[in-house]
Chains A and B, each alone.
Chain A
């Protein structure tokens, strides 16, 4: 029976383990990207021209560069050529380099999401903050950013979904995640390519759809009513 044969094939691989690697990549990269992206967004809305310029340049350069190049550069250039080593054993080192590549890339999208959140804050809020004597940093911290984050949940959620899917690109940094496993599976059992694809694709649907539902719910629930 073909179905049971296929299920036998599946049971020979650690699919859940491979997905777990993707989720770990996503979690670490998401935190780093959020920190870096928020800092970039602050730079881009600050009154200091040089910081604004640096933030804009970063976003424009990184957004127009393929993630695959950043990922490949990590293990072809940064590690062997420039000697950036983040851990003693190979696997951990590659994993950390992949996390950094994902964070560096998605930080530019986080920055743009937060900026679009800042744009949902009415002018009157900033004017009121200035009127009561708040300088740029206190106004940003106390008035603008709290509202901006709530307005940015939907685009941030989309960035998170993109990050989950893009964690497969870590294959270019030799991290043994799900796309590497899938390649191994179809190489060994090429006649099952379609069912293997559907199995792994459905796994992503199961991960991605709840994230989408949750962020949509949160963005409505936490929206600042005006």
Chain B
């Protein structure tokens, strides 16, 4: 934000006039595009009251949107918990002093970060019934959770590692000096601080998990997007309206999560000696040399 303000001077009278003109032109363009879109929608009969009435019908919510939302949140909750476990396990593994464990964990993490989530979901979906004796009706949920856990767990493992690396060296030196082992120092001094420092990135990752549950649509998991499609597939076919409702629901939930992330970061910011910014990473697939946060990196997938 700071850099934006210095790109231009505090405007004088002429600058203010130019900005005012620019504002009017900009507003006209933005409103023009919106108006054009609305006219197009209108000409295709998208403002038919019958189509919108379905969206405020309590039964639509009772039988479609709410169960869909519940399935979305269920999958996200499982995936968040399991990805945290996976991430902590492999993140600590990447910090191990044993080079075999370190190398193995590094390989696993880099592999799952390079593979699309959807590919892992399809694999999980089909192996559920075939290899793991999971009842067929649970296979899509298993696929969604497996894909999200492996991918996001790997990202969280990287966060854990960079969080610990981002702490001042003195933290570990002090714990070693008072007689702790390296493991004790990691568990009771470094990890707690690293977790607090990485809280904002962690919650951004939870937003990614929540968004990616929508991929379950492709592997027949009955989540929010699929319910929206079902709502839209009956007369009067309000598919645009149903998609809009689903999109708004996703946006609202994700906004709330991001907002909570900001609050938490401010609240706990003083309790860690870490900066909260991930240290530069050297992983091959990350290719991170600079400032991208995890949201940039995943593209939300």
CA distance A201 to B26 in the complex (A): 45
CA distance A112 to B40 in the complex (A): 30
Report yes or no: B6 in contact with A119, Cβ–Cβ below 8 A: no
| Interface size grouping (class) on chain A | 35 or more
Report yes or no: A77 in contact with B8, Cβ–Cβ below 8 A: no
Q: Contact partner of A204 among B114, B212, B300, CB < 8 A?
A: B114
Also in contact, A112 and B115, with CB within 8 A (given A126-B7, A154-B290, A155-B291): no
Report yes or no: A209 in contact with B26, Cβ–Cβ below 8 A: no
Chain A facing B: main interface SS: helix
Report yes or no: A120 in contact with B289, Cβ–Cβ below 8 A: no
Report yes or no: B250 in contact with A69, Cβ–Cβ below 8 A: yes
Q: Contact partner of A65 among B7, B23, B211, B295, CB < 8 A?
A: B211
Also in contact, A50 and B27, with CB within 8 A (given A120-B290, A165-B301): yes
CA distance A171 to B219 in the complex (A): 10
Report yes or no: A213 in contact with B284, Cβ–Cβ below 8 A: yes
Report yes or no: B115 in contact with A209, Cβ–Cβ below 8 A: no
Report yes or no: A209 in contact with B119, Cβ–Cβ below 8 A: no
Q: Which residues of B contact A168 (CB under 8 A)?
A: 116, 118-119
Q: Which residues of B contact A212 (CB under 8 A)?
A: 283-287
Q: Contact partner of B7 among A136, A157, A190, A194, CB < 8 A?
A: A136
Q: Contact partner of B296 among A50, A72, A158, CB < 8 A?
A: A158
B100 adjacent to chain A (CB < 8 Å): no
Per-residue contact bits, chain A 81-93, to B (CB 8 Å; 1 contact, 0 not)? 1110000000000
Report yes or no: A162 in contact with B7, Cβ–Cβ below 8 A: no
A113 adjacent to chain B (CB < 8 Å): yes
Report yes or no: A205 in contact with B225, Cβ–Cβ below 8 A: no
Using a CB-CB cutoff of 8 Å, which residues 171-197 of chain A contact chain B? 171-172, 178-179, 182-183, 186-187, 190-191, 193-194, 196-197
CA distance A153 to B237 in the complex (A): 45
Report yes or no: B250 in contact with A66, Cβ–Cβ below 8 A: yes
A109 adjacent to chain B (CB < 8 Å): yes
CA distance A165 to B115 in the complex (A): 7
Per-residue contact bits, chain B 272-301, to A (CB 8 Å; 1 contact, 0 not)? 000000000001111111111001111111
B122 adjacent to chain A (CB < 8 Å): yes
CA distance A162 to B113 in the complex (A): 10
Also in contact, A140 and B7, with CB within 8 A (given A65-B251, A179-B119): yes
CA distance A170 to B219 in the complex (A): 13
Per-residue contact bits, chain A 38-80, to B (CB 8 Å; 1 contact, 0 not)? 0000001111111100100000110111111100110011000
**B31 nearest CB neighbor, chain A only:** A50
**A158 nearest CB neighbor, chain B only:** B297
Report yes or no: A116 in contact with B290, Cβ–Cβ below 8 A: yes
B264 adjacent to chain A (CB < 8 Å): no
Q: Contact partner of A154 among B11, B115, B289, B301, CB < 8 A?
A: B289
B44 adjacent to chain A (CB < 8 Å): yes
Q: Which residues of A contact B19 (CB under 8 A)?
A: 47-49
CA distance A171 to B213 in the complex (A): 15
Also in contact, A201 and B119, with CB within 8 A (given A81-B44, A82-B41, A158-B287): yes
Closest Cβ of chain B to A62, distance in Å, is 9
Report yes or no: B118 in contact with A169, Cβ–Cβ below 8 A: yes
Report yes or no: B8 in contact with A219, Cβ–Cβ below 8 A: no
**A76 nearest CB neighbor, chain B only:** B239
**B9 nearest CB neighbor, chain A only:** A130
B4 adjacent to chain A (CB < 8 Å): yes
- Segment at the interface with A among B85-93, B124-132, B180-188: B124-132
Report yes or no: B290 in contact with A219, Cβ–Cβ below 8 A: yes
CA distance A204 to B9 in the complex (A): 47
Q: Which of B114, B131, B214, B258 is most buried by chain A, counting CB atoms within 10 A of its CB?
A: B114
CA distance A69 to B72 in the complex (A): 13
Closest Cβ of chain A to B294, distance in Å, is 9
Also in contact, A159 and B296, with CB within 8 A (given A67-B301, A154-B287, A193-B131): yes
Q: Contact partner of B287 among A123, A171, A216, CB < 8 A?
A: A216
**B253 nearest CB neighbor, chain A only:** A64
- Segment at the interface with A among B57-65, B164-172, B189-197, B240-248: B240-248
For the complex of A and B, the 10 pairs showing the least CB-CB separation, nearest first, are A162-B299, A66-B214, A155-B292, A212-B287, A197-B123, A216-B287, A50-B26, A48-B22, A64-B254, A68-B214
17 A-B residue contacts at CB 8 Å?
A47-B7, A61-B251, A65-B250, A69-B247, A72-B225, A82-B44, A109-B296, A112-B296, A155-B290, A158-B292, A161-B285, A165-B115, A168-B119, A204-B116, A212-B286, A216-B288, A219-B290
Q: A50-B22, A154-B287 are in contact. List 4 more A-B contacts (CB 8 A).
A: A77-B243, A116-B296, A179-B218, A213-B287
